[in-house]
A = this chain, B = another copy of it.
Amino acid sequence: MSEALKVGIAGLGTVGSGTVRALRDNAEALAARCGRPIELVAVSARDRGKDRGLDLSGCRWHDDALALAGDPAVEVVVELIGGSDGPAKALVEAALAAGKPVVTANKALLAHHGSALARQAEAAGAGLYYEAAVAGGIPVIGLLRDGLAGNRIERVAGILNGTCNYILTTMRESGREFADVLAEAQALGYAEADPGFDIDGVDAAHKLAILTALAFGCEVDFEAVRVQGIRQIAAIDIGFAEELGLRIKLLGVATRSGEGVAQAVEPVMVPFGSPLAAVEGVFNAVLAEGDFIGTIMAEGAGAGERPTASAVVADLAALARGDRRPVFGVPAASLQRLPAAPDEGQLGAFYLRIMVIDRPGVIAEVAAALRDEEISVEALLQRGRDPGESVPVVITTHETTAGRMRRAVERIGAIEACLEPPRLIRIEGE
């Protein structure tokens, strides 16, 4: 058996501790699978005195994470510090500069600096692996890069944030409103005290930007991701969706067309029969469409100590076996600069809910606004009658463009009898 692969880990939070445990618990199997042991030789974390329940004897301790890059005993640096800049970025750059491959779970770093880091890694001849950065334990990076290598991928869609999926699932099951369920999720530890990063879609957008680059072989373009979170989702819309055979999910979707790449994270409705509709609670899932594979989906735990550690160790195992992969699937120099496809022309069906005064003629005004944009109505639901009072009217459309729909909605919103801003949610085919 060959010499051990010597690993240094920066960051001993949840994922770091899980990684240490996985390397220890499955050391023998890993050595058999990789043809050599994977050995933890050094660590770095903020508080040396903290009891993490880990046996770190035999490991060097570095108070400064950067020292891992310079430690001659460390062959591979595992960056689990987090954050798009600061010490995490400094460490990754220093490790690559020293010619050491890097394994990271840092989606923010890759979303913001992925293309530059890919170039640096390639110039240094050192790999940059990030299976743990997207969808936690689900090995979706390997799936897209290796398993679908024979495909031209046209579309990637994913439930990429477990907190949002948990909140939406609980809202549907309980009929309760967003704020109420969020508060409970915070109490249970499923949502952060400062939840914006998750519920406003930023975390999912980081992950989507990475998937987009890998799937389409283009530069990472986080700025081009259109992002909308789930704060605006109301119990009434979840109820109507259910009635229509649809389920609301916060989806990240990237599509490639002649116009460029469209990237969006937003709440969408998916039909009950769609595999994504069945992904509930804190689970994540990624679906890809390729010209040969057709549609494929992988589902699993998108976060947590042990699943994320599983992904980190998968990267270490690949390195131990001597695999070499371009960071985003193709050499950095051949990553395309694809334009962001204008949203206006994106095709889709839509769900529209308006709150209108229940009086004759209102529906005719709404219908006229849709007709003038050549939008075809698929269904119209007006539940309950309350003459002179506000009632919800729900319309689903056949396929149209986002631009037409937006114009129609602006006109509908301006109708005098329309009392609140209309709620518009895209309906995905699957």
Contacts and interface: CB of A to CB of B under 8 A. Distances in A.
A26 B312 CA distance: 30
11 contacts: A26-B150, A26-B291, A26-B292, A30-B149, A33-B145, A35-B331, A143-B143, A146-B317, A278-B278, A293-B301, A296-B298
A82 B278 CA distance: 36
A35 B300 CA distance: 31
A214 to B, nearest CB: 11
A307 interface: yes
Given A32-B334, A301-B293, A147 B139 contact: yes
A314 to B, nearest CB: 5
Contact of A149 (B147, B152, B279, B317): B317
A325 B32 CA distance: 11
A388 to B, nearest CB: 43
A176 to B, nearest CB: 20
Given A275-B299, A329-B33, A146 B293 contact: no
Contacts of A316: 150
Given A33-B149, A300-B294, A321 B325 contact: yes
Contact of A137 (B149, B296, B321, B323): B296
Interface in A318-351: 318, 321-326, 329-331, 334
A236 interface: no
Best-buried of A150, A322, A325 by chain B (most CB within 10 Å): A150
B324 A18 contact: no
A22 B149 CA distance: 10
Given A149-B33, A150-B30, A310-B151, A296 B217 contact: no
Contacts of A300: 293-297
Interface string A282-315: 0000000011111111111100101101111110
B150 A309 contact: yes
Contacts of A331: 32, 35
Given A22-B150, A293-B306, 13 more contacts: A25-B152, A26-B291, A29-B152, A29-B330, A139-B146, A139-B147, A291-B306, A292-B313, A294-B301, A294-B304, A296-B298, A322-B324, A323-B323
A151 B33 CA distance: 11
A34 interface: yes
A330 B297 contact: no
Interface residues of A, number: 65
Copies in the complex: 2
Interface string A269-280: 000010100111
Given A297-B298, A321-B324, A330-B33, A150 B313 contact: yes
A148 interface: yes
A142 interface: yes
A142 B146 CA distance: 8
Contacts of A29: 152, 217, 330
A292 B18 contact: yes
A329 B304 CA distance: 26
A138 interface: yes
A31 to B, nearest CB: 9
A300 to B, nearest CB: 4
A334 B307 CA distance: 27
Given A22-B150, A152-B29, A306 B329 contact: no
Contacts of A334: 32
B25 A149 contact: no
Given A25-B291, A149-B33, A314-B147, A299 B299 contact: yes
Given A275-B299, A329-B33, A331-B32, A146 B146 contact: yes
Nearest to A299: B297
Closest 10 CB pairs between A and B?
Answer: A139-B147, A150-B313, A296-B300, A149-B317, A292-B310, A278-B278, A32-B330, A293-B310, A292-B306, A298-B298
Interface in A150-166: 150-152
Nearest to A279: B275
